[in-house]
Amino acid sequence: MFSELRQRPADPILGLSVKFKADANPDKIDLGAGIYKDEQGNTPVLACVKAAEQFRVDLETTKTYINSAGSALFNEKITALNLGEHRVIDENRIRTISTPGGTGALRIAGEFIKACKPGATIWVSNPTWANHDGVFTAAGLTVKSYPYYDYENKCLNFDGMLEALKQVPADDAVLIHACCHNPSGMDLNHAQWQQIAELAKEKGFLPVVDMAYQGFGEGLEEDARGLRLLADAVDELIICSSCSKNFGLYRERIGACSVIGKSAAAADIISSVLMPTVRVNYSMPPAHGAAIVETILSSDELTAQWHVELQEMRDRIGGMRQLLVNKLVAHGVSRDFSFITRQNGMFSFLGIDKDQVKRLQDEFSIYIVGSSRISLAAVAPDNVDYLAGSIAKVL
């Protein structure tokens, strides 16, 4: 059976990491992986996470299975984190399940949409996270794209986005990044979110919100603003959230898929469809990450500590955006890179061509995906001068 298999290319980002690790240059920089790093290049375990893990070690009494929906307390806490005190919670119209990370949430969302409408189409932004197409295609959906980023002017192409979404048929799904758009860093403002919400209500398409970076943009509440506007406007909505970035729980693989229905009765039907979907995928979600998050969010002290640590991560990334722009100017770069400071989250497109990206790798050991997307979280005070100087040379 295996004789018919053919070698497939490595994942563009994971393949870069392999090359980076094999590179002997002491000045090498990996700007490909979307992982938070501190100034020393480490991905630290948050102090609030360590405290919650110790609490779990002291009190855990069993390793038995949890149910397919996961921890009820985690589901309650993550729903409140995403939606705040929204009326859909009071109206009992939302059902949340724990998933293996944000990717697991997206896959379950895709499977759920397919159960609602076999052969359904989901629209994703151009560009979008590299794994979106694969996840939704594997779930059996047709994937199409709508304009989002203006590569020439380094800004949001909102007019193009709006015009494209006006053509989306009712009952198609539309994926929207809640904040810190991956890979462009360009986010919708309040007025733009309001327009999208009104359009979703008018056209009848199903919004699917990917909430992978809540708290990494402007703040926990600010980053959820668009999601909550959508929940105000439409009767049905899917939220895919992740705790990998904002809690630093990359290895624990804990996320959530929340589905809002028109009524409490409709939400019960939704739950009855979600459970067998989970059962034939991974059966039971992981418990450890959920226990960490629910412990933090159930403690006023640990929640306050988490807020401080999350702000430190957010501020560091924002500071590196400004520092990189300043260093490029200091190295005599005349091209305007100020757009980097107007973006949110971990990512930005440098806007250089593939030959220049290749030169950065071959000549300077700076690893960037071919689209020129960089992770600002990998930029630090001790490497930013080398990075800016290298960019100046390839320009």
What are the residue numbers of the active site? 129, 210, 245
Distance CA 386, CA 364 (A): 9
Distance CA 331, CA 338 (A): 15
| C-beta of residue 36 within 8 angstroms of C-beta of residue 248 | yes
Closest CA to 285 of 136, 112, 108, 143: 108
Distance CA 323, CA 326 (A): 5
β strands within the chain, DSSP E: 29-30, 94-100, 121-126, 142-147, 149-150, 155-156, 173-177, 206-211, 237-242, 254-260, 347-349, 366-367, 373-375
Distance CA 207, CA 118 (A): 17
Cα dihedral sign for 167, 170, 172, 173? positive
Q: Which two structure tokens, joined as six digits, stand for 35?
A: 């992982």
Residue type, 390: S
Closest CA to 265 of 76, 79, 92, 86: 92
Cα dihedral sign for 382, 387, 393, 395? negative
Torsion of CA 150, 141, 35, 156, to 10 degrees: 20
Q: Which two structure tokens, joined as six digits, stand for 158?
A: 């909102």
Angle among Cα 24, 248, 388 to the nearest 5 degrees reads: 45
Q: Which residues contact 156 (CB under 8 A, 6 or more apart)?
A: 148, 149, 150, 184, 186, 187, 188, 192
| C-beta of residue 217 within 8 angstroms of C-beta of residue 180 | yes
Closest CA to 317 of 258, 368, 386, 246: 246
